[in-house]
């Protein structure tokens, strides 16, 4: 029962983390910067893994897609690869988790399900690590440029997509760890044992005892054996 509950909790936590990680790819605000006027914000600059945009005070946005993948900065290419790998690993991890959960009727025996659940946990952990690394790499570039006094171009701050990615990565790692530890519950199930009571010993095949008249009488040997002697 505990193993089933832990598997269900791990599945919900991991799937929630994977959905959050997947939502960061199309999210706009990976990094953001604003130019404030005396009364209102005059312009907002923001960018993600695919484009860079500027939004004026009227709400009109002008975006420019990155012209070439090969001409991109190295950290953007690395973040793209890591986030795509995180989403792909989370997809396969969710499939393995469905086969490894005890509440489903696929996946084979309980021992086989435990191995599949452990594999799903490892895949979710890898997915969380990829997402965590990608978001951290992007955030490190932003903070390095922001605190560099020699950097004269537009400086950005951390966007909402990074925090969503970190939260999703944490949930994936937590769910994967629960999946891996749920295999120990299957090894604690008690085994049914069968006790064997050995045959009772018989002192002699023919037992003599004095009768009423003092004569020795013999008894039938078959009546002296206990029923356990034939086991």
Tokens representing 121 are 């946990």
Calpha distance 83→25 (Å, rounded):
7
Instruction: Please tell me the predicted confidence (pLDDT) of residue 205.
Output: 44
Half-sphere exposure of 191 (CA within 13 A, CB side): 4
- Segment-wise mean pLDDT, segments of 10 residues, the chain, 231 residues: 72 93 91 74 84 84 83 88 95 89 72 85 94 94 90 87 94 91 61 47 47 49 50 47
- Which of 62, 32, 29 is closest to 48 using CA atoms? 29
Q: Beta strands 216-218 and 208-210: pairing type?
A: antiparallel
Please report which helix (H) or strand (E) contains residue 46, including its range. strand 41-47
- Which of 92, 84, 95 is closest to 22 using CA atoms? 84
> What sign results for the dihedral spanned by CA atoms 125, 130, 135, 136?
positive
Q: How far is CA 101 from CA 12, 17, 93, 188, 226, in A?
A: 12, 18, 12, 17, 50
Instruction: Please tell me the predicted confidence (pLDDT) of residue 209.
Output: 47
Tokens representing 70 are 């090969």
Instruction: Please tell me the predicted confidence (pLDDT) of residue 2.
Output: 46
Instruction: Please tell me the predicted confidence (pLDDT) of residue 16.
Output: 94
Instruction: Please tell me the predicted confidence (pLDDT) of residue 27.
Output: 87
> What sign results for the dihedral spanned by CA atoms 188, 190, 191, 193?
positive
């Amino acid at each position: 029962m505990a193993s089933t509950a832990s598997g269900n909790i791990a599945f919900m936590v991991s799937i929630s983390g994977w959905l959050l990680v997947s939502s960061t790819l199309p999210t706009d605000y990976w990094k953001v910067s604003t130019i404030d006027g005396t009364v209102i914000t005059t312009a907002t600059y923001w960018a993600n893994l695919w484009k860079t945009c500027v939004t004026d005070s009227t709400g009109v946005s002008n975006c420019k897609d990155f012209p070439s993948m090969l001409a991109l900065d190295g950290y953007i290419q690395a973040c793209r690869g890591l986030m795509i790998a995180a989403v792909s690993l989370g997809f396969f991890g969710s499939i393995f988790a469905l086969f490894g959960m005890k509440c489903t009727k696929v996946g084979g025996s309980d021992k086989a399900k435990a191995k599949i659940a452990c594999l799903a946990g490892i895949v979710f952990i890898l997915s969380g690590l990829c997402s965590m690394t990608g978001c951290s790499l992007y955030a490190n570039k932003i903070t390095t440029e922001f605190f560099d006094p020699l950097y004269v171009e537009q400086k950005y701050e951390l966007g909402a997509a990074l925090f969503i990615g970190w939260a999703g990565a944490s949930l994936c790692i937590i769910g994967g760890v629960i999946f891996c530890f749920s295999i120990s519950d299957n090894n604690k199930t008690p085994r049914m044992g069968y006790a064997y009571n050995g045959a009772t010993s018989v002192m002699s095949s023919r037992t003599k005892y004095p009768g009423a008249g003092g004569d020795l009488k013999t008894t039938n040997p078959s009546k002296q054996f206990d029923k356990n002697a034939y086991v």
